[in-house]
A and B are shown apart, each in its own frame.
Chain A
Amino acid sequence: MSTNELQALADRIVAQAKSGEQIEAYVSRGGETSIRVYEGEVEHFVSAQSQSVGIRVIRDGRTGYAYAGTLEESVLHEVLADARDNVQFGTSDEFAGLAEPDGVPVIKQELWNDALAAFPTEQKIALAKELEALTLAADSRVRCDDSNYDDAYGETAFATTSGVSAYGRENGCYVSVGTLADDGDETQTGFGFSVGRSPAEFDLPRAAREAADRATRLLGATKPQSKRTTVVLDPYVTAQFLRVLSGSFSGENVQKGRSFFAERMGEAVANPIITLIDDPTNPLAYSATELDGEGLAARRNVLIENGVLATFLHSSYSARRGNTKSTGNAVRSGGTPGVSCLAMQLAPGTATQDELIANVDDGVLIQMVQGLHSGVNPISGDFSTGASGLVIDNGKVGAPVREFTIASTLQKMLLDVVAIGGDTEWLPMSAAGVSLVIRDVTLSGS
């Protein structure tokens, strides 16, 4: 099947729309290679192709949806029939509908890399083996749990009866390594990774060094005393923190009473040093994209400007409901579109992490968090997470600490940010990292 055929397939599904019926077809196919090396040998090699189709049908304000994991012709008919059948059970919603072309131009991205597409299998295996060897060489106390090379490619064609038609393809790759460091009976763990559009962009030595450092620096860690304190978040932790905030900017969550930012538009919700941007058009972002999940051009939106809440994000549905325009933030996670941030980034400061730490008399550098999915409620704002890191004493990092939690509320933490580093890191997730200093969080330990 050629590129045009994939688009033609989407168009053909949509062309079957009957009078009074709106149809959206989302077809994709792709593949992945996943290689895991252990003790110098290939532990597994996964080579896989996949296909999928999702069809949304809207009639009289009622929505039905169906999907399948194949593009086989007989199944496509079944999927369309199921989606149509499902329409009758939806409640009529005056705002239901598909995205319409809005004239916002697409900002081109280099999302496809020919060198990766042609990269030979033997070299992929060699990269995973090299990463394992580099990691083991970094420190004699370190073992490798696994060393991995992964790549994936995918192409998507999209069509609607409302006139949206879009095709895109992208590929990417990463290497990662999981480490164990032993000292007597004690074991600590770490990880390292490197991401790229092509393997030429990998920095294996850095991934190996970070994986070894993360595990070894926690050896001998103790449980700290409970207290209120200042934390410095590593860039990787900050990125995870931003992801937790993401849903609160969703216009749909605001409309449905699930955002603590509702009613706060134009108000100071964060320390004035905070400017938070969602910009999937930035080619440096791992999740950079040309189109949102409804086929509209992705765009830059300022969420918080100098501490003031500036924008709620919208899909075409929430935009119609809120009498505004889509911000190009529709996302699909297996079903009908929702609303989410696509590529979050804090406007950076200028200080290095060491300089930020030098200004902290008493605190903790948080290097890893655990349990953001279980201890954070993005609706109430309650925030509590397991953590490990290094004690900060008089502006210098000291002994490792683990098995404690840090807690506050999301609302309070935004106001309590006292410094932002200049060390932006583009991480393999939909938020960039940067060092962040937050005062007055509760540390629970012994």
Chain B
Amino acid sequence: MGQVTSAPMSSPFLDQIGTETIQRVLAKGRSTGAGFAEIFIEDKRSTSAAFDDGKVEQVTSGRDRGAGIRVVHGETTGFAHTADLSEAGLLAAAEAAAVAARQGKGGVVKVALGAETIQRVNNIAEFPDTVAKSRKVQLLQRANDAARSVDGSIAQVSAGYGDSVRHILVANSDGILASDQQVRTLFRVSAVATGDAGMQTGYDSMGRTIGFELFDTEDVEALAVGAARQAVTKLRARPAPSGSMPVVIKRGSGGVLFHEACGHGLEADLVGKGASVYRGKVGELVASPLVTLIDDGTMTTEWGCIGIDDEGHRSQSNTLIKDGVLSDYMWDYLRARKEGRPQSGNGRRQSYMHLPMVRMTNTFVINGETDPDDIVRATKNGVYIAKLGGGSVNTATGDFVFGMTEAYLIENGEITEPLREGNLIGNGPQVLRDIDLLGNDFAMGNPGTCGKDGQGVPVGDGQPTLRVTAMTIGGTAA
């Protein structure tokens, strides 16, 4: 889906460190007999600004720069990282990784790198580091003012701005040399409304893998008004129901459902250890035939978009479920090598201090054919979810939860009363089978951070309006 452009210029690291140094570091990594060595170099600059309680609390600048060196010998991976990018620093880390993976006698090895490939998926119009901080701060004030103007019950507003420019370079002993530049910009607003029955909260966010031009097309005031209205609406919310009933999930708000219900279970590292309910199910019907699920790292400007993954593999679009049938899992270097098959561009890591593993990028369900209004009309009684919160899954059992932060009752085919917050619980394979209506109104959702094994990476998700025939709503009302 994305437009991939290649530029002939090299990344900043190659000028600074040099191809020959990288080759020597990789050779050192293999010096104890390992078959594979990899260096991942990262330089990330970020700016964030926090607004709360009517004030700009502070602007923060951050710099994270370093290299992680991975050495694989047989089934054992050794890993070390360093913030010292001198040749001596890199060689010391390579030796530590090599010793960590030591399994046999080594020898002198040579590593030859190919030409650098550079993947740039997005054209950045306005790099965040060229934008005056005062312009970033002004957005916060505008969001605050807009949220507070919604209703007298808005008692507190906080807003946050964040941007990052991340350069990465990956080289390995198979000759891969690849680099990428990932620019992300994010904005979020949360509001507290106070009423007779206590406090309620509203939240919304937006983020893209682009620069400050995000705000040419996206309106922070509209975002803030939405968050404030959510809080105000919930002041008159009734307790959510308790028990099993039909659930309609609004477009662009329920991608996290698929992220949890099946996305994680399709990660090859979990499948490989038999820790997924989807193991051994390729070619089988695992979802309603309405469902086609895609993970696409090339999806231009979306939050989970990448040029290359963090193992130097070009990002790609992968069909995971086609018309309800499981077509493939997601793969990184180690798991693909073990199965003797190609990688899928899903090897990602939080930073140079982390080992890569199988991760999602932008995960979404494509359009069905039903008019979204008809989906609500066809539902006699149930719950309509306009905004989902986070979620989590146990991939081995398939049991997953996700929170509803904005939800309403459906009564006689109409959206009626707002509901207080709560979790929904379901079993992934069951819920996928129970999707009986799929809308034609696809939209991507909010920017997300997916956590796995202590690492967070940016991910996107999306889906059209859909209905699940039965899910358990974790409210308190009978």
CB pair A187–B475 under 8 Å, yes or no, is no
A78 closest partner in B (C-beta):
B63
B192 at the interface (CB under 8 A from A): yes
Whole-angstrom CA separation of A43 from B334 in the bound complex = 11
Whole-angstrom CA separation of A258 from B389 in the bound complex = 19
Which residues of chain B have C-beta atoms less than 8 A from A64's C-beta? Answer: 58-60
Whole-angstrom CA separation of A335 from B61 in the bound complex = 10
Which residues of chain B have C-beta atoms less than 8 A from A75's C-beta? Answer: 63, 65
Which residues of chain A have C-beta atoms less than 8 A from B66's C-beta? Answer: 69-70
Q: A93-B55, A374-B403, A380-B200 are in contact. Are A45 and B77 (CB under 8 A)?
A: yes
A231 at the interface (CB under 8 A from B): no
B375 at the interface (CB under 8 A from A): no
Query: Chain B interface: which of A46-54, A112-120, A153-161, A308-316?
Result: A46-54
Residue from B80, B156, B472 having most chain A Cβ neighbours under 10 A? B472
Which residues of chain B have C-beta atoms less than 8 A from A402's C-beta? Answer: 397, 399
**Among candidates B49, B78, B101, B244, residue contacting A89 with C-beta atoms closer than 8 Å:** B49
Contact with B along A345-381 (1 / 0, CB 8 A): 0000000000000000000000000110111010111
A404 at the interface (CB under 8 A from B): yes
In residues 116-134 of chain B, which contact A (Cβ within 8 Å)?
133-134
Q: A75-B63, A374-B391 are in contact. Are A46 and B100 (CB under 8 A)?
A: yes
Contact with A along B31-60 (1 / 0, CB 8 A): 000000000000000000110111111111
In residues 235-291 of chain A, which contact B (Cβ within 8 Å)?
255-258, 260
Residue from A46, A78, A335, A374 having most chain B Cβ neighbours under 10 A? A374
Query: Chain B interface: which of A5-13, A102-110, A295-303, A382-390?
Result: A382-390
CB pair A444–B472 under 8 Å, yes or no, is yes
CB pair B242–A41 under 8 Å, yes or no, is no
Q: A377-B201, A379-B201, A403-B425 are in contact. Are A444 and B475 (CB under 8 A)?
A: yes
Query: Chain B interface: which of A79-87, A197-205, A428-436?
Result: A79-87
Query: Chain A interface: which of B10-18, B246-254, B285-293, B416-424?
Result: B416-424
**Among candidates B83, B201, B242, B274, residue contacting A380 with C-beta atoms closer than 8 Å:** B201
Residue from B137, B273, B422, B472 having most chain A Cβ neighbours under 10 A? B422
In residues 411-457 of chain B, which contact A (Cβ within 8 Å)?
420-427
In whole Å, how far is B349's beta carbon from the nearest beta carbon of chain A? Answer: 12
Which residues of chain A have C-beta atoms less than 8 A from B156's C-beta? Answer: 256-258
A426 at the interface (CB under 8 A from B): no
Contact with A along B62-85 (1 / 0, CB 8 A): 111110000000111111111110
Whole-angstrom CA separation of A222 from B349 in the bound complex = 37
B73 closest partner in A (C-beta):
A42
B26 at the interface (CB under 8 A from A): no
A408 at the interface (CB under 8 A from B): yes
CB pair A63–B58 under 8 Å, yes or no, is yes
Which residues of chain B have C-beta atoms less than 8 A from A46's C-beta? Answer: 78-80, 100, 355
Which residues of chain B have C-beta atoms less than 8 A from A70's C-beta? Answer: 63, 65-66, 83-84
A38 at the interface (CB under 8 A from B): yes
CB pair B390–A373 under 8 Å, yes or no, is yes
Which residues of chain A have C-beta atoms less than 8 A from B367's C-beta? Answer: none
A386 closest partner in B (C-beta):
B401
Whole-angstrom CA separation of A79 from B45 in the bound complex = 11
Which residues of chain B have C-beta atoms less than 8 A from A381's C-beta? Answer: 198
CB pair B199–A260 under 8 Å, yes or no, is yes
CB pair A407–B76 under 8 Å, yes or no, is no
In residues 54-75 of chain A, which contact B (Cβ within 8 Å)?
56, 63-70, 72, 75
Q: A189-B394, A381-B198 are in contact. Are A66 and B474 (CB under 8 A)?
A: no
Interface size class of A (residues with CB under 8 A): 35 or more
CB pair B394–A370 under 8 Å, yes or no, is yes
B352 closest partner in A (C-beta):
A69
Whole-angstrom CA separation of A164 from B122 in the bound complex = 47
A58 closest partner in B (C-beta):
B58
Whole-angstrom CA separation of A146 from B275 in the bound complex = 11
Whole-angstrom CA separation of A374 from B392 in the bound complex = 8
Which residues of chain B have C-beta atoms less than 8 A from A42's C-beta? Answer: 76
Whole-angstrom CA separation of A336 from B49 in the bound complex = 12
A92 closest partner in B (C-beta):
B55
A442 at the interface (CB under 8 A from B): yes
CB pair B59–A405 under 8 Å, yes or no, is no
Whole-angstrom CA separation of A371 from B104 in the bound complex = 44
CB pair B401–A374 under 8 Å, yes or no, is yes
B476 at the interface (CB under 8 A from A): yes
B475 closest partner in A (C-beta):
A407
Which residues of chain A have C-beta atoms less than 8 A from B390's C-beta? Answer: 371, 373-374
B113 at the interface (CB under 8 A from A): no
B396 at the interface (CB under 8 A from A): yes
Q: A45-B79, A65-B59 are in contact. Are A386 and B100 (CB under 8 A)?
A: no
CB pair B474–A385 under 8 Å, yes or no, is yes
In residues 210-228 of chain B, which contact A (Cβ within 8 Å)?
none
Whole-angstrom CA separation of A79 from B421 in the bound complex = 41
Whole-angstrom CA separation of A188 from B402 in the bound complex = 20
A226 at the interface (CB under 8 A from B): yes
CB pair B83–A50 under 8 Å, yes or no, is yes
CB pair A256–B78 under 8 Å, yes or no, is no
Which residues of chain A have C-beta atoms less than 8 A from B75's C-beta? Answer: 38, 41, 43
Whole-angstrom CA separation of A187 from B280 in the bound complex = 14
Which residues of chain A have C-beta atoms less than 8 A from B396's C-beta? Answer: 145, 180, 187-189
B395 closest partner in A (C-beta):
A189
- For the complex with contacts A41-B74, A336-B60, A375-B422, 9 further pairs of A-B residues with Cβ separation under 8 Å are A44-B355, A47-B100, A226-B243, A371-B425, A375-B401, A375-B423, A380-B201, A384-B403, A407-B474
Chain A interface residues (CB < 8 Å from chain B): 38, 41-51, 56, 63-70, 72, 75, 78-79, 82-83, 85-86, 89-91, 93, 143, 145-146, 180, 187-189, 223, 226, 255-258, 260, 335-336, 370-371, 373-375, 377, 379-382, 384-386, 388, 402-409, 442-446
Question: Can you identify 29 A-B contacts, CB atoms within 8 angstroms?
Answer: A38-B273, A41-B75, A44-B355, A63-B58, A66-B61, A70-B65, A70-B84, A86-B59, A89-B49, A91-B56, A143-B274, A145-B275, A180-B274, A256-B156, A335-B60, A374-B391, A375-B421, A386-B423, A403-B427, A404-B425, A405-B422, A405-B424, A405-B474, A407-B240, A407-B242, A407-B474, A408-B476, A442-B475, A444-B472
By Cβ-Cβ distance, the 9 closest A-B pairs, closest first, are A405-B474, A375-B423, A374-B403, A371-B401, A384-B422, A82-B61, A91-B55, A386-B401, A45-B100
